[in-house]
Amino acid sequence: MKKQIGSKAALIFGMLCLPMAMYAQKQDWHLQSKDIEKVYGTGVTRAYNELLKGKTPKTVIVAVLDGGIDTLHEDLRANLWRNEKEKAGNQDVDGNGYKGDVLGWNFLGGNGQVTAESSEYQRVYFKYKSQFENVQNEKDVKKKDRQHYHSWVLSKSLLKKADTVAPIDFRGKEVKDDYFNIKDRFYGNANLMGDPYFHGTHVAGIIGAERGNGAGMDGIAAAVKLMGVRVVPNGDEYDKDVALGIRYAVDNGAQIINMSFGKRVSPERKMVEDAIRYAEKKGVLIVNAAGNEGTDIDSIPHYPSPFHMKGNTRASNMITVGASGSSETALVAAFSNYGDQTVDVFAPGVGIYSTLPDNKYSPLSGTSMATPVVAGVAALIKSYYPHLTAKQVKQIIEQSVTKIDFPVVKPKSGGKKVKMTELCRTGGVVNAYEALKMAENMK
């Protein structure tokens, strides 16, 4: 019997998942296909049955930048990345600067764990209030301070009535790094199971829960190793932790990075963009969530963004993902962000059944779930066609989508129907079956 847990998870600031009580889906629908099961899934099951039999994949390392992973889970243990050059404990055997990083690294650790945190807009508003509250004209702000001024103005617009005092600096008290110095990077600990690791556990299972073991559910990619990188607390992530999490993943061999988080304000955006460029130069694909506000992120940005501040250039190694449902009548998830310039593809993100801590399983919804669907498909492609570059995998995923040729309901529009191409660049839903056929042809 499959173990389950009641879905009481709420939307957690940067963690882009929603409770599942309102949805009833077949638990593996995201692996099914439009042609066979008549649902708008990815066709993964069909791909294994028709395209991949007799072929031997190569293992792909996927970093899960999130709130942590249950490293003891029955469906994940066999597919966890292991740093073979390191040993558990308080020694840095491999010399990479991170002591005991056998399964990954936690940038939210000290002697204990950073768990609860505030929203970024709260942190930014109160940090820069005295510096900017009397500014009448942006021209009066020094050029070096203007990015923080822009973040402060946006943060002020997001204030709620309850935001009357500065939030507690939980991270600063625990981590004790020089936050604005990106070179101060050897902080944290090796414990990946800090609260709220249920989210990262669910994400990890979608990508690479062990297939065919009779436990719970099957991940998308069989030949995968999951690297845990904890950068998201129960609140908004910090830009420095995200930037260093990306760099850690790249430096330790990750070929794909999953980022199921996001926020409206990114005061140290340059740190993250520099890390994305670093991953781009190293040929690492980044898959990130579009967000769950039901808004147009072409006009209201959601960070991390594929667009760089300088020159508004676009990262060539980044796929931004919206969430879709199983049927034509509810194809675009009502909560999903969209944008015909920013969002690349949609992917199943409603009622996605996956792993939760303590050997449990449950469906969750969100762009947090759609993102690892795409990361899993990318890993599947890369494992059978290892010669493909990150840019080529991105190209294949985008060009092989199931094109949506009927009007879809635009989120938070009162039922207004639009073309799918108005909601994402490709106008389609990710299709693993067609992607693998295209990869074969490229060979």
Q: Which residues are catalytic?
A: 66, 199, 368
Q: How far apart are CA 260 and CA 4, in angstroms?
A: 22
Find, among 322, 342, 350, the residue nearest to 410 by Cα: 322
> Using CA atoms, how far apart are residues 124 and 238, in angstroms rounded to an integer?
11
Cβ-proximal residues to 260 (8 Å cutoff; 6+ apart), any chain: 15, 16, 17, 66, 199, 203, 288, 289, 366, 367, 368, 369, 371, 372
**Under 8 Å between Cβ of 370 and 346:** yes
Q: Quick one: 257 exposed, middle or buried, by C-beta within 10 A (0-12, 13-18, 19+)?
A: buried
SS3 letters across the chain: CCCCCCCCCCCECCECCECCCCCCCCCCHHHCCCCCCCCCCCCHHHHHHHCCCCCCCCCEEEEEEECCCCCCCCCCHHHECCCCCCCCCCCCCCCCCCCCCCCEEECCECCCECCECCCHHHHHHHHHHHHHCCCCCHHHCCHHHHHHHHHHHHHHHCCCCCCCCCCCCHHHHHHCCCCCCCCCCCCCECCCCCCCHHHHHHHHHHHHCCCCCCCCCCCCCCCEEEEEEECCCECCCCHHHHHHHHHHHHHCCCCEEEECECECCCCCHHHHHHHHHHHHHCCCEEEEECCCCCCECCCCCCECCCECCCCCCECCCEEEEEEECCCCCCCECCCCCECCCCCCEEEECCCEEEEECCCEEEEEECHHHHHHHHHHHHHHHHHHCCCCCHHHHHHHHHHCCEECCCCEECCCCCCCEECHHHCCCCCEECCHHHHHHHHHHHC
CA distance 19 to 351: 9
